[in-house]
Chain A
Amino acid sequence: MTQNIEYKLKEQDRRELKKILDQFNYDKNNLISILQTIQDVFGFLPRNSMFYLAKKLQVPAAEIYGVSTFYTQFKFDKLGKNHLIFCDGTACHLRNREILGLVETLLGIKPGETTSDMQFSYEIVACLGCCAISPVCMVNGEIYGNLTTNKVKKLIKKLRKQ
């Protein structure tokens, strides 16, 4: 969570945040939903947006930061153009060792990182709930099943070209 520390909220961003807060009635019980919506809009949680929330919801910023870091869904850095989520649920885990190795090799990054050209973010999650077609991954919200190293190679190649 480094590169976006200095992300300054623009006037337009503040308007966007206000709209989200309006939608959730400035109710701190809705904090998680608010954070989820902010992430939907910005692609990540800008640090300054959390300070903004703290002021408007009248909760310590530390508490907001505490909630957002507790849940794996929240990101503090801008993600790459393609968001690759590989499932490592039990069924996938039994068959995906080679695949995960290959992804690291092809992209040159570890899980949780983004390539320097901002093309790919790579993440491993516990289970996507598609065990019957394991191993699976989710790319930009879409599920790909029955993966093999060959399929993954083609998939990444295709995404690179786009």
Chain B
Amino acid sequence: MNSKNNSNPNNPNNSSTNNSNINTSNKNNNINNNSPKRELLLCRGTACNSMGAINLHESLQNALVKHKLIEKVSIKLTGCHGFCQLGPTIIIQPDNVLYAHLKPSDIATIIENHIKNNKVVEDLLYKDPKTGSPIKDMNKIAFYEQQVPLITKNCGKINPEDIEEFISIGGYDSIKKVLTEYSPLEVIEEINASGLRGRGGAGFPTGQKWLLCHQTKGDKKYLICNGDEGDPGAFMDRTILESDPHSVIEGMLIAAYAIGANEGFAYIRAEYPLAIKRFELALTQAKKAGYLGNNILHSGFHFTITLKKGAGAFVCGEETALMASIMGKRGMPTPKPPYPATSGLWNKPTNINNVKTLATVPRIIENGADWYRSIGKKDAPGTTVLALSGKINNSGLVELPLGTTIRKLVFDIGGGIPNGKAFKGVQTGGPSGGCIPKQYLETPLDYDHLTKLGSIMGSGGIIVLDEDTCMVELARYFIEFCQNESCGKCVPCRVGTRRMLEILTHITQGKATLKDLDKLEKLAHIVKTSSLCGLGQTAPNPVLTTLKYFRDEYLQHIRDKRCPALVCNELITYYIDEDLCIGCGVCKTNCSVNAIGGIVKEPHSINTEACIRCGVCFESCPSNAILKKTNPPQGR
């Protein structure tokens, strides 16, 4: 991950990336450049920032000054380019070239070759994981090629901290159109006709939701943008809020106009400091430019937005809990009905939409409902933004038409599983979703198909699992998460998930019996059907789907005391392969319980009695001589 070569272990032609022998001599690398003004788009999303994009910016500026290129080349600090795994990345436009895994020292090479001599620096390009050949045109990269950027249209293309850039590409045109040409009911009709469904997880038709709130009589109504993206494995909302906050604000304006709200709240989780910072800035700029406040664009429409920082509670993603949190209370859900549309914040009619839903709204107004319907599927039009991660070659943010198959996502866009491992399944919808095994690879990703398989679309986190993933341990992990996040109000969720966690822990420790398995299944159904809110009702999904599709793994844990994926600590032992051990002693030095013995330059050995199976030796061994084993399967 640190060097370009690592991203492509199978490349037989791996050339060194030392600056001295960077390969730029190839004649085909020349770009036809009639010297238009070039733009260097530097990604400043959270991921790229953490990988060193901040230093890159400095190097870039210095290099441009040094080479007197300031006039000819501009640096644009953008939001997320989507392919976070390659970070930090720079896209050079109009050449459409993406450079990946950059270090400050690479900047000089890019300026010298690409900018001054129009030669693409091949070694810094992304390389196809299958063929190993570098890809010059970023639109030809499989990860980007199949995407339909609609919600994420502006992500990575504009500077999210500059409202002028947003306006220059047609930003806030939709709200202008709405305020001058549409009545609130006409807006709702348009959204209804588009078939847009809530992108937060449940998939409720957005137009209908708005209509309900519009029809409720009340002197005061509220609009809430739900940016409490708490499910592990999801980062779509963070990316959109970081990369294109004004689209969300515009969506909120349109929604507020439609339902008749004058006050809005954006609830963003505190774990996303950059998203909060940029959204706050966007609010200030929008207010200054007259898009927020009193008498917006001289239409007589007033709307203000207050930013509320979440304080770390997964359950606050649930509508009623979120509202309690905004009102300064413990984030505990209340029974529905009454629905927020009739009695929400301070008992006033309230409408809550997800970040992605709201970011879609301006696009629909701009291009019309028919256009939106032409994308995706008939019963689920439009696109969905997915956060692809886990055991996958290409991870990052992807936007696809609804109905794209899992196979296409994992193997075409995601580039398959790294290190030649076997694909085991995908986990969708976070702790509320389920695990879908490999036999369902052809399943289209949309609300109905995933529900049929026992999972949910959820907000869009997709975790790819390989053969090294223990499904029992994964189910235990999700139940532990739900148990921790259960607000404690209703018994099925509070007590039920705790009992489920106990049984699952016992299974992973090899201490459970077959009776426990029945008990687990029964409990899962009870929790699912009798919990108060969405958290409890969906918490058993990971357990139920793994029981359904990977029952054999549960049985192996219980009967054979065996973890086939070599994950569950109590069921594995570490040992040293004497042939591979070079006797360097690194493992011995690193072992915190002195469980490793041996003389330098001679094979070492592990005392399994003393070993606490922390795995540090396994990670640190330079010759991969430390291996794991579990009990053999017993004949049945």
Contacts and interface: CB of A to CB of B under 8 A. Distances in A.
Interface of A: 28-33, 35-36, 66-67, 70-74, 88-91, 93-94, 97-99, 101-102, 105, 125-134, 136, 141-146, 148-150
Contacts of A143: 46-47, 49-50
A85 to B, nearest CB: 9
A129 B234 contact: yes
Interface stretch (B294-302, B308-316, B513-521, B577-585): B308-316
A130 B477 CA distance: 19
Contact of A145 (B51, B231, B427, B430): B51
Nearest to A126: B232
Given A91-B389, A133-B51, A74 B311 contact: yes
Given A98-B615, A146-B1, 4 more contacts: A32-B325, A127-B271, A129-B238, A133-B85
B231 A127 contact: yes
B235 A130 contact: yes
A70 B389 contact: no
A132 B328 contact: no
Contact of A67 (B51, B330, B487): B330
Contacts of A126: 230, 232, 314, 481, 484-485
A149 B619 contact: yes
A116 to B, nearest CB: 18
B311 A73 contact: yes
Interface residues on B, range: 35 or more
A142 B53 CA distance: 13
Contacts of B235: 129-132
Contacts of A144: 50
A93 B311 CA distance: 22
A95 B465 CA distance: 11
B628 to A, nearest CB: 11
Contact of B312 (A72, A102, A129, A149): A72
Contact of A105 (B273, B326, B616): B616
Contacts of B326: 29
Interface string B173-196: 000000000000000000000000
Nearest to B473: A93
Interface string B263-290: 0000000111100000000000000000
B308 A33 contact: yes
A129 B328 contact: no
A91 B49 contact: no
Contacts of B329: 31, 67
Interface of B: 1-2, 46-47, 49-51, 84-85, 87, 229-235, 238, 270-273, 308-309, 311-314, 325-332, 387-391, 395-397, 427, 430, 461, 463, 465, 468-469, 474, 477-478, 481, 484-485, 487, 567, 592, 614-616, 618-620
A70 B233 contact: no
A2 to B, nearest CB: 22
6 contacts: A88-B232, A90-B477, A126-B484, A130-B46, A133-B47, A146-B1
Contact of A29 (B51, B234, B328, B461): B328
A150 B620 contact: yes
A86 to B, nearest CB: 13
A28 B427 contact: no
A42 B246 CA distance: 33
Contacts of A88: 232
B328 A89 contact: no
B619 to A, nearest CB: 4
A126 B312 CA distance: 9
A63 B51 CA distance: 42
Given A72-B311, A91-B233, A98 B614 contact: yes
Closest 3 CB pairs of A and B: A89-B232, A132-B84, A71-B311
Contacts of A133: 47, 50-51, 84-85, 87
Contacts of B328: 28-33, 67
Contacts of B620: 149-150
Contact of B50 (A70, A99, A125, A142): A142
A36 to B, nearest CB: 6
A131 B233 contact: yes
A150 B51 CA distance: 16
Q: Name the residue among A28, A33, A99 with the largest chain B CB count within 10 angstroms.
A: A33
Nearest to A27: B328
A135 to B, nearest CB: 11
Nearest to A95: B391
Q: Name the residue among A28, A72, A89, A149 with the largest chain B CB count within 10 angstroms.
A: A89
Contacts of A105: 592, 614, 616
A61 to B, nearest CB: 15
B376 to A, nearest CB: 24
A97 B615 contact: yes
B461 A102 contact: no
A134 B614 contact: no
Given A90-B390, A90-B427, A149-B616, A125 B395 contact: no
A75 to B, nearest CB: 11
Contacts of A67: 328-330
A130 B614 contact: no
B391 A70 contact: no
Contacts of A136: 50
